[in-house]
Amino acid sequence: MGTAGTRRMHSECYIRLCAFDSTLSWESLRISFIVQRSPAEPGFMLARHENGGRNFGYETQAYVMEKPEEKRYSYERSAF
């Protein structure tokens, strides 16, 4: 099945296209990119936490935990 067929079958999903290199001694993923995004993206952010000294911990958090989708990217105008 090609990209167009995959898009028809999974129109509400993310679709990632991956290309592999089968050259001897390489044999791994060489390139990957998103060819279709979901119509409704929950969105994620990377939060960094200091664990003491120079050690940092990272955690992914969904934006949906803080703001609903319709208010996520809106900007309030301030009165001057």
For the chain, give the secondary structure using H, E and C: CCHHHHHHHCCCCCEEEEEEECCCCCCEEEEEEEEECCCCCCCEEEEEEECCCCCEEEEEEEHHHCCCHHHCCCCCCCCC
pLDDT band at 53 (very low <50, low <70, confident <90, very high): confident
- Residue 35 is part of which domain span? 3-69
- Confirm whether 17 is domain-assigned: yes
Q: What is the pTM of this model?
A: 0.49
- Confirm whether 8 is domain-assigned: yes
Here the CATH number for the domain that contains residue 63 is: 3.30.190.10
Domain count within the chain = 1
- Give residue-wise pLDDT tens across range 17-51: 999 888 877 778 889 998 988 777 767 778 888 88
- Confirm whether 27 is domain-assigned: yes
pLDDT band at 61 (very low <50, low <70, confident <90, very high): confident
